Amino acid sequence: MEKNLLFFLDTDDRASPFDIYMGYEAGFDIVIPYPKVTADETEELVQDIIFPGGPQGVKQVSIFIGGSEFDKVTDVLETAKEAMFEPFEASIVVDPQGAYTTASALVSKAEASLSKIREGGLEGKKVTIVAGTGPVGQIAAELCANAGAETLITETWGKVADQLDDIAEEVSERVGTEVEGMVTTNDETKYEAIKDADVILSTGAEGIRTISEDVLEKLDGKPRVICDTNAVPPTGIEGLDPNDDMERINENLYGIGALAIGNLKKKIELTLLEQAKQAGKGIYDHQNAFELAREKVVAVPEITS
């Protein structure tokens, strides 16, 4: 009996239970996790995955690549691609620590919400990604910049703030346009970073407050969309509930909380895995994830008052 197998290659010390769960939800019969995977061992590992079933059996095999460090995940992906050749090609889904699917859900929700408040799309808008040096923030910055937004990444945490210029430069190189970085150490500098933004995306770590209500109250009256990916108390943006889905926070602020974003993220990951299982080959990355996000984002009623 043919089985659909998902081999989960994770560069971290443990394979993510979330992604293992999603593999089964997508209909794979068996999900086999491999933690602590390095690029050096990937070629041998991938060829051990694709050869046993022969040219026909490899069509029942998919690979999921995850991990919290972009460079390591990218190296594993590139090595995995080089290890395969016709007719031994398996489908590969790559989603480092959920960054591709989460960022795609985040940006697509913000984009759709701009339209609903009659502010158009992301093109020409100013977007500030607060605490944006992590995987989700970096991919969100790339997606926003590619959509034509003037994009700013901020960071507060000193250890990472030292790397901010390098991160902004790396994102700029990927998108071919300038993405700026700004260190924000207090409410005053946080206000400076968001005061002109049309869209504010908070992508900080779980349980870390990134923007206080005091900062939000200082903003002028232009319509803005604010989004937060942190559902763990205290949430990133004070006053924004994780369940908010285009809720009016005050007269001119419209908010999207972490659970509303997370619900779309799960749909995207599930569909990517299903597509990979059905296709039997191909690479499914952040570009595929964002295309799906734009298709799946749930329209909210237009706000007219």
Averaged pLDDT, 154-183: 89
DSSP state of 203: -
pLDDT band at 15 (very low <50, low <70, confident <90, very high): very high
Q: Compute the mean pLDDT over every residue in the chain, rounded to the nearest whole number.
A: 94
Distance, in Å, from the CA atom of 293 to the CA atom of 152, rounded to the nearest integer, reads 22
pLDDT band at 304 (very low <50, low <70, confident <90, very high): very low
Distance, in Å, from the CA atom of 244 to the CA atom of 63, rounded to the nearest integer, reads 34
Q: What is the dihedral of CA 54, 55, 59, 64, to 10 degrees?
A: 70
pLDDT band at 120 (very low <50, low <70, confident <90, very high): confident
- Ranges of each domain in the chain: 5-98+264-296, 101-262
pLDDT band at 18 (very low <50, low <70, confident <90, very high): very high
Query: Does the domain at residues 5-98+264-296 carry the CATH identifier 3.40.50.10280?
Result: yes
Q: Higher-confidence residue: 176 or 299?
A: 176
Helix H segments across 117-163? 135-146, 158-161
Half-sphere exposure of 108 (CA within 13 A, CB side): 28
**Nearest C-alpha neighbor of 103 from the set 77, 75, 142, 76:** 142
Dump pLDDT digits (tens) for 31-53. Answer: 999 999 999 999 999 999 999 99
> What CATH superfamily is the domain 101-262?
NAD(P)-binding Rossmann-like Domain (3.40.50.720)
